[in-house]
Every structure is written in structure tokens, then in C-alpha cells.
Structure 1
């Protein structure tokens, strides 16, 4: 009885790892893509069609630019769900790129310049 219980726990632990398996967008078939949370049949077909038309995706920016519905925010969510591009996870939005308040530094600088200009 104890042996069966331990075996069932071991099976549950082993199979739970499959739920978080990494799926590479350049190697996956439609079923594997559909298994990623956030990707449905329509998006997986769009990914496969674009991959067939334009070749493998070079990086996340390439995927975001070529597949409708995969923007920066969605790409981060898909990456968190296990999707990779060439084995690489998507970096979080608003990383250490000089951003201030979640906005790119260049845009923030222009806003500050406009505020200074308005004060004069």
C-alpha cells in the first residue's frame, strides 16, 4: 500500500514538470504551440505560417514584429508560460535600460524638456 502511494506521488511529481516544459517557437509543431498558455489555434497557425514564409525567428523582436498578436506584453506572458525563441526566454519589459517609471529614457527626457520649455 505504501509502495503504491509513493509511486503515485513520484508519478505526479514527474508529470508536473511537463506542464512547464520549454517550447521553442522554431522547433514546435502546432500541438506543442497550442500547449503553451496564451497560444490558441489561431496564433499557433499564424506562427507556423510566418515561420514557413520567412524562416526561423532570430529573436523575440523578430517574433513580435512578424506575428500579429505578439507584442511586448504578450511576449513576456508567453515566455513566462514556457515559450522560447532559439532557447532564450524573453526579457521582462522595462528591464534595466535606463527606463524611468516604466517608460523609455528617451521619451521621458523629451517630456522633461517640454516641461522645462513650458516654464520659460
Structure 2
């Protein structure tokens, strides 16, 4: 009986901790600025982005050893989910003269640097 109770308690504990396996944020980006998620050495991760601004923003991938790829425009209220390779940053670029606001949910390797770049 103790084994069953211990197993159930352990299962509930592990299930309740699953909320900690993701990074959730609403990020504001200054006009003509960029936000970089994962501009450091890390493993693969997946990120869902929602543009809650009143103007489009651009997103693209930038490996930490140089270059860029997969540029696309995220329209107002558009949601996109992207699988991000090891040691690659997601760059969210605000080319507008107004602040941008992006909802971010990341899963996978969460040892991600978060920085701004203008």
C-alpha cells in the first residue's frame, strides 16, 4: 500500500512540475531594435511567437557562428511555431517607430541568453 501511495504522490509531483519546463514571456521591443533569444551555446528548442503589436515584425534565425536564414514577417496577431537548431538565436526585429510586443513560449533547452540589439 505504501508503494502505491508513494508512486501516485511521485507521479503527481512530476506532473505538477511540468509547468516549469517552458519559458513564457511577453517581451517589449523598442522602436528600431531587435530581441535575440538564444544567442549563446545551447541545445535545440522550440518557440511559439505571437505578435500582439499593432504592426508587423520580422523574425529570422541567426547561428552564433554567423549568418542568417528563414526570414519572415510576423503580421499583427499572427502566431508562428519554430524549431530552432542548436547554437542558433531567434531574432525578432522591430523596424517600426513604435514599441513591439511579442508573446513568447519556448520549450526544450531553456538555457537561452536573452538580449537586445539595435
Q: TM exceeds 0.5?
A: no
Which protein has the bigger helix share? 1
Which has the larger Rg? 1
Greater relative contact order (Cα < 8 A, sep 6+): 2
- Structure in which a larger fraction of residues adopt strand: 2
- TM-score between both structures, scaled by the size of structure 1: 0.31
Scaled by the length of structure 2, the TM-score of the pair is 0.31
